[in-house]
Structure 1
Amino acid sequence: MTAMNEMFRKRIGFARDEPINFDNLDTILEKAALALPFENVRIMNGSTTEFTEESLKEKILGRNEGGLCYDLNPLLHLFLLENGFDVKLVRGVVFNQAKQKWSETGKTHVAIFLRENGRQYLVDTGFGINIPLKPVPLDGDTVSSRNGEFKVQREASEHGDYCLYLKLKHKDKEWKKGYAFDSKDTVTNLRDLNEIQQIIASHPASGFNKRLLITRLTDKGSFTLAGNSATIWTDGRMEKKEINADQFKKMANDVFGLDV
């Protein structure tokens, strides 16, 4: 077992000697969702680094940070590769729910495309608290997990050939678009992620270069720090409160283990 394989298992709390296969991939995704925060701290404090396999492992496994989609999914991709899965990274365009249009940042979402026994799936641990906790088949079948329902439909567009739809538990009554992705637009080298990171860090339409954001699913819901607010979902009930900079820093450290 490689050091990366062992460190990833330790970070998410998965037994070192337990085999990984498609049947228990749900467990991996659930544990990753509870352990790895979705956050933009490095974007906001200007401390981003060039992408390499070593820098990615050091950031999340060595320093116990989280990251955005282009951090979390590439790391999971490396882990799945080491455990014998047929996977590749694909690029997508997020649908902006507030503006009801596709993000002007373009194909800056990174997700995982997986093949298993002749069937194809979308795997994603880098879509904030909107992540499916199970592989989502690309043939339109709906999957349900504790945080909602998810499906992928084949839809040819300028953004790709598939679209993820979601209906989050306690939040959505109707299906909503998550992101479109192109199964043929793959990331073949980690250096390609530098372009995506640069767009997210500098583009005027980026939602991740305006304020600090740290979020993660919890056993009973989710916990989100965003700018001057803290939003906590517990068993379907939401509590939102205003916080100051000192409270943000304390919660970031106490809840997420992050130094901001």
Structure 2
Amino acid sequence: MSEINALFRNRIGLSETEPVTFESLGMVLDKTASHIPFENGCILQKDMSSITKDYLRTKMLVKKEGGLCYELNSLFYFFLIENGFQAVLTRGVVYKPATQQFLTIGRTHVTILLTHEGQTYVIDTGFGGNLPLQPVPLTGETISSRNGEFRVKQAATEYGNYVLEMKLAYKDTDWRIGYAFDSNKPVTNVSEFDEIQEIIANHAESPFNKTPLLTRFTNTGTITLTDSSFTQWVDGRMSKEQIDSERFKELRQQHFGINQ
């Protein structure tokens, strides 16, 4: 068993002897979302390195930090490949419902396209609290998980040929766009994501270079931590605590295992 495969399984609490099949991917995605947080600590500290397989292994499996989409999905891509799946990475553009337009900073979202028995699916472990937690086929079929309903529709936009749409449990009453992506432009080397990291770290309109953000799934919902609040969703009910800097550090350690 390769080092990434063994370390990844250890990080998410998956036995080294348990085979990962297409049918069990939902369980693996759920465990990943619960154990490896979406977080931007390194971006805020300007503590960045080139995106490589070894960097991802060290950051998230040895140091047990989290990451952003280009890190989380790249790591999960390597895990999928090492478990015999056919997959590629691709880039997309996130849609902001508040402004009803796509982000203007470019193709800074990274997702995974997995092919199984002739059908292609979106796999995403790097979309914060918006994760499908299941493979979503590129057929328009609605897929349900504990996080809501998800579908991928063919749609010609300047950002690609498909859009991921979602209706989050307890939060959305109507379908909304998550992001657009191009299935015809696979990424051949994760070093391409150095460009994304640079944009996320330095662009004035980047949503991740201003304040801390950490989120992960729990058995009953999600938790999200910023420098001013701690939000918990438990069985569809939300509670929000206003916090100061000391409380932030306590909660970051307690719920995310991160000391920075």
TM over 0.5, shorter chain = yes
Give 1:45 shift.
1.0
Cα deviation digits, residues 157-213 of structure 1 (max 9, x gap): 100000000000000000011000011222211210100000011111110011000
Partner of 1:160: 160
d(CA) in 2 for partners of 1:91, 1:170? 28
Q: Which moved more, 1:43-52 or 1:128-137?
A: 43-52
Structure 1 residue 136: deviation in Å?
A: 0.1
Alpha-carbon RMSD? 0.7
Matches of 1:249 and 1:44, distance apart in 2:
15
Q: Look up the match of 2:113.
A: 113
> How does the TM-score come out when normalised to structure 2?
0.99
Q: Are positions 1:18 and 2:14 aligned together?
A: no
Deviates most, 136-145 or 177-186? 177-186
CA separation in 1, counterparts of 2:198 and 2:188? 18
Asked whether 1:37 is paired with 2:37, we answer: yes
Which portions of structure 1, spanning 4 or more consecutive aligned residues, are displaced by more than 3 angstroms?
Answer: none
Distance of 1:179 and 1:191 partners within structure 2: 22
Provide the C-alpha distance between the structure 2 equivalents of 1:234 and 1:208, rounded to a whole number of angstroms.
25
Q: Give the unaligned 5+ runs of structure 2.
A: none
Report 1:161-200 matches (<5 A).
Answer: 161-200=161-200
Shift of 1:21: 1.2
| Alpha-carbon distance between aligned partners in 2 of 1:136 and 1:190, rounded to the nearest angstrom | 23
Deviation of 1:20 (Å): 1.1
Gaps of 5+ in 1: none
Give yes or no for the alignment of 1:223 onto 2:223: yes
Q: Distance in 2 between matches of 1:121 and 1:166?
A: 15
**2:56 corresponds to which residue?**
56
Cα distance in structure 1, aligned partners of 2:257 and 2:225: 13
Percent same amino acid at aligned positions?
48
Report the residue type matching 2:181 in the other structure: F
Q: TM-score, normalised by structure 1?
A: 0.99
Which letter maps to 1:130?
N
**Partner residue, 1:84:** 84
The 5 A counterparts of 1:130-169 are 130-169=130-169
Q: Report the count of equivalent residues.
A: 260
Whole-angstrom distance in 1 between the partners of 2:25 and 2:229: 34
CA distance in 2, matches of 1:40, 1:184: 29
The aligned counterpart of 1:241 is 241
User: 1:117 is matched by which residue type in structure 2?
Assistant: E
Local SS of the residue matching 1:155: strand
